[in-house]
Amino acid sequence: MFLTVNLNPAVDKNCEIDVLRPGEVNRLTRSGRVAGGKGINVTKILRQFRMPVAAVGFLGGPGGRFIEEAMEKLGVTGYFTRIKGDTRTSVNVLSDGGFVTEILEPGPVISEKELAAFRKQFSGCLELCRMVVLSGSIPQGLPVDIYAELIEECHEAGRKVCLDASGELLRQGLAAKPDLVKPNRRELEYLAGRELSGMEEIRAEAGKLLEQGVGKVVVSLGAEGLLYMDKEQELYQEACRVRIVNTVGCGDTVVASLCMSELAGEEAGIALKKAAALAAANASTRENGQIPMERYLELL
């Protein structure tokens, strides 16, 4: 079983518009809401492939109930910690040409009591899983090294860990040496403290993560594809060319695909092809984390 950690999930409100004009009245052509947040997106994709998944994290208010009900419908085993605050809402504005504008709330404030309850749930769930996926932002009130602490606990229990985070969450988490990490270019640049001008500099920064003790590094480069590195090999996979509808969740799709390949023991080249095809299939549909399987197989 996979265990996904959802510290700051969201209700994603997807809004479609012909052209987004800042500072003017904008009328939507369509809108709808889905359970979202990076960890929830990973969970949804894993369930599409009939993978057994348990999910932990914080949920509160009407948005929390909406996400919990969505997970139940997917057959996800939920061990969520109920909180007094409200689960956040994220607004994704999809305009013609595949442009996406994301407006993200910071999330609720987590109390020490709520954090302690989550930690107890998390520790118990480690007995159920083989691999843990840590992804996304954190709500207010949690320490910036929370992912590092959870990674250490996973390794003590003999579990594999994938980390997909940004900023200081990523930097702190890397110190705990996750088995797999998936930064994008912007996140690598944050770690480097400067812009990375080309593939050689990207390779060099990814290599530094391996030197720190990370097991495998996959850099997602958007339309430029995926770069894989471990201590023995380096591979590059071009992105599939599709008509882009919605890019939200493409990175989460890559994470889910890589984690499935990891537990299946697939070689890196196959894992990269699957991840690239799955991300492209996700980009070609409106709802993030809802993969058109026939399209995925065609691309693969």
What gap in Å lies between CA 171 and CA 286, rounded to an integer? 32
Q: Judge whether 170 lies within some domain.
A: yes
Through-space distance between the first and last CA atoms of the chain, rounded to whole angstroms: 25
The single residue of 12, 164, 179, 252 carrying the catalytic annotation is 252
Global pTM?
A: 0.93
CATH code for position 130: 3.40.1190.20
Residue 263: which domain range? 2-20+30-299
Q: Which of 29, 101, 107, 109 is nearest to 67 (CA)?
A: 107
Say if 174 falls within a structural domain. Answer: yes
Domain count, the chain: 1
The answer to the question of residue 131 being in a domain is yes
Cα torsion angle, 107, 257, 126, 215, sign? negative
b/e sequence 59-78, b meaning 16+ C-beta within 10 Å: bbbebbebbbebbeebebeb
Which of 107, 172, 96, 158 shows the shortest CA–CA distance to 130? 158
The whole-number average pLDDT for the span 21-46 is 92
Residue 25 lies in a domain: no
Q: Are 88 and 108 in contact (CB under 8 A)?
A: yes
With respect to residue 53, please indicate whether it lies within any of the assigned structural domains. yes
Indicate whether 63 belongs to any domain: yes
* CA 170 – CA 188 distance, rounded (Å): 10
User: How large is the average pLDDT for residues 197-206?
Assistant: 94
Q: Is residue 166 part of a domain?
A: yes
pLDDT of residue 100: 83
The tens digit of pLDDT for each residue in 150-196 reads 999 999 999 999 999 999 999 999 999 999 999 999 999 999 999 99
Nearest to 174 by CA among 200, 142, 144: 144
Residue 10 lies in a domain: yes
Say whether 283 sits in a helix, a strand or coil.
helix
Identify whether 252 is a catalytic site residue.
yes
